[in-house]
Amino acid sequence: MCRGSWSVEELRVESLSKNFGGVTVLRNISFTVTREEKRVVIIGPNGAGKTTLFNLISGELPASGGSIYLFGRDVTRMSCHRRTHLGLARTFQITDLFLQFTLIENVILALQAHDPCHYQMLRPLKNYHHLHEKAEALLKEMRLHEKKDYPITSLSHGETRLVEILLGIASGPKILLLDEPTSGLTCSEGVWLAQLILNLLRGVTLLIIEHDMNIAFNLAERMIVLHQGEIAADGKPEEIRADTRIKNIYLGTCYE
């Protein structure tokens, strides 16, 4: 692997588009994320196509046109689960956990997917001590350790948002797509979570969809603004902040 001072490409999207029937949700999206850009925040008004973009990158939806490259490899037609084995993971805007399981069982389920034991049928899961230790370590980092045996349904909304991120990082991804990690949180909880993301996920390249502008500008090293399925702006946070077009997108042109 080249680890030079030049940029190492991790994710490249080339003229990507998505139609649902006659409705074009994404049109001609191209950008490259390199290893140096640790946190790319994607903003845009509702319906701009942010989550659809994530669904295309993670492989949950097939692209209508264009290509996606992960670590230089064309993954446009690769299935969702195989992309995760290349080092991609995601979280969901609407918390999407395993409600029949306890907290630690949720985490173990996520860890198990990338462990050689995942097709093992005859040895009890509780004998896989390394999975349990890893799960407890992750829970400790998130300060959820005390609730490890709680049913997932008994956790608060803020806690389930943390678990959502935990399931995303359990596989040890190189790129993590965070779909509105702070959705539904109070302002102070959101700031706290953003700080946690900064501290915990240092080695991971993050693509973050964020609605809260304070948090978005706080997290971003680079910002991509989506508007009506197209990239309206792409640059450093200072540039985006200064761009009057972006204000128009968010506040409407009548505002000026």
Partner 1 sequence: MGRKEPRWRAILSLMGGTVIALAIPLLPQYAVTLATSILIYSIYVSSTNLLTGYTGLISLGQAMFWGTAAYIVAILTTRGLVTNFYSVAVLALIAVIVVSAFFGALALRVKRLYFMIVTFAFGHVVWCIAMYPMQRTTFGYDGIKDIARPHLGFSVSTASASHFYYFVLIIVALCFSFLYLLIQSPFGHALVGIRDNEHRMIALGYNTFVYKYLSYILSAVIAGTAGLLFAYFYGYVNPSELHWMWSGTALMAMFIGGVGRFWGPLFGALAYTGLRYWISSYTMYWFGIEGIIFILVVLFFRGGIAGFILNVQRKLERGRAEG
Binding site for partner 1 (CB under 8 A): 58, 60, 79-82, 84-85, 89-90, 92, 96-101, 105, 108-110, 112-115, 117-126, 128, 167, 170-171
Q: Which is nearer to partner 1, 138 or 216 (CB)?
A: 138
95 contacts 161 by C-beta, under 8 angstroms: yes
Measured from the CB of residue 256, what is the shortest distance to partner 1 in angstroms? Answer: 41
How many C-beta neighbours within 10 Å does residue 58 have? 20
* CA–CA distance, 123 with 106 (Å, rounded to integer): 19
In the 8-state DSSP scheme, what is residue 63?
Answer: -
* Min separation Cβ 118 and partner 1, Å: 6
In sequence order, the 6+-apart residues with CB closer than 8 A to the CB of 4 are none
**Comparison of 56 and 231: residue with beta carbon closer to partner 1:** 56
Of 41 and 110, which CB lies nearer to partner 1 in the complex structure?
A: 110
Question: Smallest distance from the beta carbon of 246 to partner 1, in angstroms?
Answer: 31
**Residue appearing with tokens 């390249």:** 205
Distance CA 95, CA 86 (A): 24
Q: How far is the CB of 249 from partner 1 (least distance, A)?
A: 30
- Which 3 state secondary structure label does DSSP give 213? helix
